[in-house]
Amino acid sequence: MPQELDATGLDCPLPLLKAKQMLNKLATGEKLRVRATDSGSVRDFRVFCQLSGNKLLEFSELDGVYSYLLQKQ
């Protein structure tokens, strides 16, 4: 069961910063699901995963809410 982070209503860069803080507390292999409403988070999370080595397992968007499933590496 992944940890959950509700970052809806937060503007860039807060969704990513809060996700990084939570990921730092997780063990390797654990998952974090993030929900955000900031459209800039789409680019932010993709670039973050490429640079950090964490995996972006899932991405979806429904009615302006972006959902990310990250796995700590």
Q: Kindly list the distances between the CA atom of residue 26 and the CA atoms of 23, 31, 39, 62, in Å, as whole numbers in the listed order.
A: 5, 8, 26, 27
Burial class (CB in 10 A: 0-12, 13-18, 19+), 14: middle
Give the active site residue among 8, 10, 12, 55: 12
Closest CA to 71 of 53, 52, 54, 50: 54
Residue 12 annotated to the active site: yes
- The residues annotated as belonging to the active site are 12
